Amino acid sequence: MRMLNFAKRNFKELIRDPLSLVFEIVLPLFLLFIFKQINIPGDTYKLENFTPGIIIFGFSFITLFTATLIAKDRSSSLLIRLGTSPMKSSDYILGYILSLMPIIIIQDILFFVVAILLGLSFSVNIVYTILISLIISILFIGLGILIGSLVSEKATGGIGSIIVQLVCFTSGMYFSKDLIGKGFAKVCEFLPFESSLNIIKGILNNNFDIISTRNIVVFSIYTVLVLIISVIVFKKKMVSDNKN
């Protein structure tokens, strides 16, 4: 119950900054619209392939907003006061994750509504894609929790922008990794963003051939490690902040 109350509190904090939420949703929608109007040749920019890329791009902003929220909670001493409660670090992490799920669902629905208006064929796979995207988003929320636990509120913007750029250039949402070279392609394979995109793209297009075992393993390892490290770092920061 305490964890759910904490999640409700976090959700209220998130919607108190509607400008950031609008920016998070409108910018990806604008990219989806404008790239469709430009009509760039190539499979990457087909709606069935670019829409999953926009979803992953939107998740990179989820990382930024999560990091900002946690850093703000630390600076306001909220977590210091909550440190006296019987809640565990895992409860706090789950509270942050649950608070973002409604926003992610709304975000995904809007992405697909616009994509359908632009010509994407509606199918039940869209529902499956939204559901699987909730799982994918946990990785990005975990990254935000980790960043917010490590740095100040002022520093979250800069580090969050690095995550946004990494997602753009290593996920394959704009161009194939093979166009850059084998070295860059290897980097993409060892980072989780390409794997996340391939999973969503495979579900949407009912093409499980593009979801390799490596994609599942890489995504799973990163997600589990990020969550474990986030819990550990978050707990240590709560203890150190309490001492200060």
Grouping H, G, I as helix, E, B as strand and the rest as coil, residue 1 is coil
Q: Is the Cα dihedral 42, 45, 206, 171 positive or negative? A: positive
Of 67, 125, 128, 134, residue with least CA distance to 107: 134
As a whole-number percent, the residues of the chain with pLDDT over 70 amount to 92
| CB of 193 closer than 8 Å to CB of 199 | no
Of 83, 77, 103, 78, residue with least CA distance to 12: 103
Full DSSP string of 210-235: GS-HHHHHHHHHHHHHHHHHHHHHHH
Which distant-in-sequence residues (6+ apart) come within 8 Å of 58 by Cβ? 24, 25, 28, 107, 111
Full DSSP string of 126-137: HHHHHHHHHHHH
Mean pLDDT of the chain: 85
Unique residue bearing structure tokens 């990254």: 143
Specify the DSSP class assigned to residue 208: G
Give Cα separations from 92 to 84, 86, 184 (angstroms): 13, 11, 36
Q: Is the Cα dihedral 198, 203, 108, 111 positive or negative? A: positive
Question: pTM for the whole thing?
Answer: 0.90
Per-residue model confidence as pLDDT tens digits over 103-127: 999 999 999 999 999 999 999 999 9
Residue 185 has pLDDT above 90, yes or no: no
- Write down the pLDDT at residue 38: 79
Give the tokens for residue 240: 């150190």
Per-residue model confidence as pLDDT tens digits over 56-92: 999 999 998 899 888 887 777 666 656 556 677 777 8
Residue 177 has pLDDT above 80, yes or no: no
**pLDDT bucket at 204, cuts 50 / 70 / 90:** very high
| CB of 15 closer than 8 Å to CB of 160 | no
Choose between 88 and 97: higher pLDDT: 97
Give Cα separations from 1 to 99, 103, 231 (angstroms): 14, 21, 19
Residue 32 has pLDDT above 60, yes or no: yes
Specify the DSSP class assigned to residue 122: P
What mean pLDDT comes out for the span 191-195? 93
| CB of 48 closer than 8 Å to CB of 120 | yes
CA 137, CA 148: separation in Å to the nearest integer?
16
Give Cα separations from 211 to 32, 85, 188, 189, 207 (angstroms): 23, 43, 15, 13, 8
**pLDDT bucket at 215, cuts 50 / 70 / 90:** very high
- Write down the pLDDT at residue 124: 95
